[in-house]
Chains A and B, each alone.
Chain A
Amino acid sequence: MSKKILIVDDEPNIVISLEFLMKKEGFQVAVAGDGEEALAKVASFAPDLLLLDVMMPKKSGFEVCEALRTDSANSALKIVMLTAKGRETEVAKGLAIGADAYVTKPFSTKDLVVRVKELLGAV
């Protein structure tokens, strides 16, 4: 059965690319437009991996990540944070609060696919 990926981002222009890309790679894909919706979709859709944008309205990516990691039921869930902030301090923070990978925009789609597959053990 194919793995499930939840894309969390408020910008349609990136969501369209990510959604297309992940579907082409054979994943099941769902999309959430903000942090709160993301938490709800994690419960209903039960994804294996989250592509999580940091800068979002309502709840930031950091908050979503922290909320998910406090619940041990989600310990198998992989989280890849996507951000336009390139500061090392933020990378450190993201990894510290439980992200599995931290990808800075702009990124190469190929590299992203490789990282996602690595994390899902699908290579």
Chain B
Amino acid sequence: MKAKHRFIASIIVLGLLMTGPFCITSLLIWLDMKDAEREMLTRLLLQRLPIGTMMTLFGFGIGVLVLHKLFKQYVEGLLRMSETLRLMLGANRNFRVSPEGPPEVQQLAIAANDLAEQRNQLMDDVDAQIARAKASVEEEKNRLAALMSELAQAVVVCNLDGRILLYNNRARLQFKALALGPTSVSGGALIGLGRSIFSILDKSQVEHAQEVIRGRLAGGKTPISNFITSTRGGQLLRVQMVPVLAAGNDGEHSMRGFVLTVENITRSLEQEARRDQVMHSLTEGTRASLGNIRAAVGNLIDYPDMDAELRERFVKVVDDEAAKMSRSLDQTMGEFSDSMKARWPLEDILAIDIIAAAERRINDKLKLPTKTEDIDDALWIKADSYSLVFALTFLASRLQDHYEPRELRFRLTNEGKLAYLDLIWAGPAMSSETFYTWEMDAMQIGSENSPLSLRDVIDRHGGEIWYQREKAAHRAYFRFVLPLATPEAIGESEERQRGSGRPEYYDFDLFSTRDTTIDLDRKLSDLAYTVFDTETTGLEPSNGDEIIQIGAARIVNNRLLRQEIFDQIVDPEIPLKPESIPIHGITEDMVLGKPNIDVVLPAFHAFCEDTVLIAHNAAFDMRFLQLKEERTGLRFTQPVLDTLLLSAVIHPNQESHKLDVILERLGIKIDSRHNALEDAWATGEVFLKMVPLLEEKGIVTVRQAIEASAQTRFARVTY
């Protein structure tokens, strides 16, 4: 029976107690009396009935007040206390009951707090032990993750369903670069733990590769498979697959997942295609002209007695076609000079790194001091760093042998698309013959030999080298001219700043989860969620207020993934209300030039795919999304959980369910809460704390959570 019902029952009992004995006694006396006595009594009583009733009512009133006070203090006070005790038991074990109310209740509160204190110490001990045990396992995992994240190759590990359980930074950047249009605003949302790799790679190709690997495993061959696939954006990826094997019972290896290494080969294929084009234009393009010349010349030779006019015409054909061939040759060389270079694996490298390496070698090998001057430290060049450093050291050793300079200097400048790397020394002029032999001889530094000459190295780099004097300064230098590289833009610094802990790039527990589709009857802890928050121009979506920011993060396998986020400011296309600016901190300048909701919403929709949505006071945010359904044609049909309602489910007797209050109540510390993303994170933390609390209440599945939410009084608020 509920406390309220018991209170009402008590009042009824009180009323009965106060009137019952009197009434029964009166009835008994009445039955015993004669008619005349009854008449007299009636007269007597009727006169005095008001005062009697008043007295009874007064007594009843006092009784009710006392009862109510006792109820408040003992029953409701204890109820509140039991709620806080549950809180201590579950979410926040540092929470303490505040001793209030009558002395007995206060005693109970103090005793409970003492118990909690003792339990805290015990738990700390246990926690410490568990932490020690876990640490070594965790360290191993972290080492693996760190190793993966630093690899220069893009690596993705998936379970057999194609769900991603690990990816490294390179993969993230590579797929981010692949993201088309709207998805690019979500920071590479396509890739993420628990997401399907098939949103990026063609499913049938991946499955075919799996088949190939199974076949190779069965045949006792190296289990590996390669394929080339094109993305929706027309980029070409070369993918290599190797299996993740688990030992079966009979010693057979069964495949539990697979590792993909992915390389974007679009660029190199383009180069190959251009090379093909050159070959084509140089062979077939020449054939026709050469054919014309040959036929004309054949006639001239075979029929020497032809008339002068005809001879003239044949000679003109030869002249014509020869000129045409020269022109086309020039054109081809001009157009394709980049592709004509010898193919030598050159990498994009910072030129100062080359200089630093060369300085170290020169100091070590030749004991010759070096300095730098006028260095542009932001120049990227295309280089084979080993041979280039070898060449620099070789020149330094020749200089040392011939001119014994006291020191060498490096200078690094650039001019247009070229980098100038100068090796400078003070000394007499050298003859061009000397330099010519240095250029053409195979390089040698002490006992170290290279099969290459300096000229070979320069040619490989598609560069040039010359000797020049600075007369005024009485010094000379060798100038290496090298083509600049345009390194792929990689926003790594920004990626690294986010979150201080290790990046959540892996979750090996996903190996066993085979299904992440939304099923309302699955456990809350098993599903993938998107926690999100919006900032808006105002509080009235139905009155024209618009979204100006969406922030979201994902929860997979009971972890809030801080790397997989959606964080986008939206141009509302209406003026911001000045009074709202201090609340969300977004100014006109910040929304200027940002995509509008038509661009952002599809990206957000894709980000949320296959997840349950969570927001604090979700009804408000969902209203904004629903109002855009018609315009964008996007419907958010997935189930929605609301941390405000869930809080009311867990703590129905607490007054406030504001996010700040809940955070404090559940003992969650948040660095800062300023924008949509940080609020989404906070909401995510709150939800994760709530899952076990809901479980205590018997709310285990999403369906139960939604049903319980709908029962709370807050569920009736609409926007």
Q: Which residues of A contact B (CB under 8 A)?
A: 11, 13-14, 16-18, 20-21, 24, 55, 82, 84-86, 104-110, 112
- Residue from the list B291, B306, B310 in contact with A107, Cβ < 8 A: B291
B302 touches A109 (CB 8 A): yes
Q: What residues on B are CB-neighbors of A109 within 8 Å?
A: 294-295, 298-299, 302
Interface residue from B283, B294, B296 paired with A16 (Cβ < 8 Å):
B296
**How many angstroms between the C-alpha atoms of A107 and B284 in the bound complex?**
14
Interface majority SS (helix, strand, loop, mixed), chain B: helix
Contact of A17 among B284, B290, B299, B320 (CB under 8 A): B299
A-B contact pairs, 30 of them (CB 8 A): A11-B292, A13-B292, A13-B296, A13-B317, A13-B321, A14-B288, A14-B292, A16-B313, A17-B292, A17-B295, A17-B296, A17-B299, A17-B314, A20-B310, A20-B314, A21-B299, A24-B303, A84-B285, A84-B291, A85-B284, A104-B287, A105-B287, A105-B290, A106-B287, A106-B290, A106-B291, A106-B293, A107-B295, A109-B294, A109-B299
> Chain B: which residue is nearest A12 at the CB level?
B317
Q: Which residues does B use to contact A, with CB under 8 Å?
A: 283-285, 287-288, 290-296, 298-299, 302-303, 306, 310, 313-314, 317, 320-321
Contacts of B321 in A (CB 8 A): 13
- Expressed in whole angstroms, the minimum distance between the Cβ of A52 and any Cβ of chain B is 14
Report whether B317 and A105 are in contact in the complex, using a CB–CB cutoff of 8 Å. no
Which of chain A's residues have a CB closer than 8 A to the CB of B284? 84-86
Instruction: Tell me the complex Cα distance, A87–B302, Å.
Output: 29
- Find out whether the CB atom of A107 lies under 8 angstroms from the CB atom of B294: yes
Complex CA–CA separation, A108 to B306 (angstroms): 19
**Among B288, B299, B306, B313, which residue has the most Cβ atoms of chain A within 10 A?**
B288
Output the least CB separation between B284 and chain A (Å). 5
* Complex Cα spacing A16 to B318, Å: 12
Residues of A within 8 A of B285 (CB): 84
A-chain residues with CB within 8 Å of residue B299 when the two chains form the complex: 17, 20-21, 24, 109
A107 to B296, CA, bound (A): 11
A110 lies within 8 A of B290 (CB): no
For residue A109, which residue of chain B has the nearest CB?
B298
Which residue of chain B has the shortest Cβ distance to A108 in the bound complex? Answer: B298
Q: Is A11 touching B288 in the complex (CB atoms < 8 A)?
A: yes
User: B291 — which chain A residues lie within 8 A by C-beta?
Assistant: 14, 82, 84, 105-107
Question: Which residue of A16, A24, A84, A112 contacts B287 across the interface (Cβ within 8 Å)?
Answer: A84
A107 to B294 alpha-carbon distance, docked (Å): 7
Per the bound structure, the CA–CA distance linking A112 and B295 in Å amounts to: 10
For B317, what are the chain A residues with a Cβ–Cβ distance below 8 Å?
Answer: 13, 16-17
CB distance from A49 to the nearest CB of B (A): 17
Say yes or no: A17 contacts B298, CB within 8 Å.
yes
Q: Which A residues lie within 8 Å of B302 (CB)?
A: 109-110
Q: Considering the chains assembled together, what is the distance between the CA atoms of A52 and B291 in angstroms?
A: 14
Residues on B with beta carbons closer than 8 Å to the beta carbon of A106: 287, 290-295
Question: What is the chain A residue whose CB lies nearest that of B320?
Answer: A13
* Closest Cβ–Cβ distance, residue B543 to chain A (whole Å): 66
Q: Which residues of A contact B296 (CB under 8 A)?
A: 13, 16-17
Per the bound structure, the CA–CA distance linking A85 and B314 in Å amounts to 24
Q: Which 4 A-B pairs have the closest CB atoms?
A: A105-B291, A109-B298, A17-B295, A84-B287
Beyond A14-B295, A105-B288, A105-B294, 18 additional pairs, beta carbon < 8 A: A14-B288, A14-B291, A17-B292, A17-B298, A17-B299, A17-B314, A20-B303, A21-B299, A55-B288, A84-B288, A85-B284, A106-B291, A106-B294, A106-B295, A109-B295, A109-B298, A109-B302, A110-B302
A14 to B314, CA, bound (A): 10
A48 to B600, CA, bound (A): 71
A84–B295 Cα distance when bound, in Å, is 13
Q: Which residues of B contact A84 (CB under 8 A)?
A: 284-285, 287-288, 291
| CB of A114 to closest CB in B, whole Å | 12
Taken together as a complex, chains A and B put the C-alpha atoms of A106 and B284 apart, in Å, by 10
In the assembled complex, the Cα of A104 lies from the Cα of B295 at a distance in Å of: 12
A14 and B306 CA atoms in complex are apart in Å by 17
In the docked arrangement, what's the CA distance between A112 and B294, Å? 12
Q: Shortest beta-carbon distance, A108 to chain B, in Å?
A: 6
Q: Is the CB of B283 within 8 A of A86?
A: yes
Docked Cα-Cα span, A13 to B313, in Å, equals: 9
Q: CA–CA, A107 to B288, complex, Å?
A: 10
Chain A's nearest CB lies how many Å from the CB of B318?
A: 9
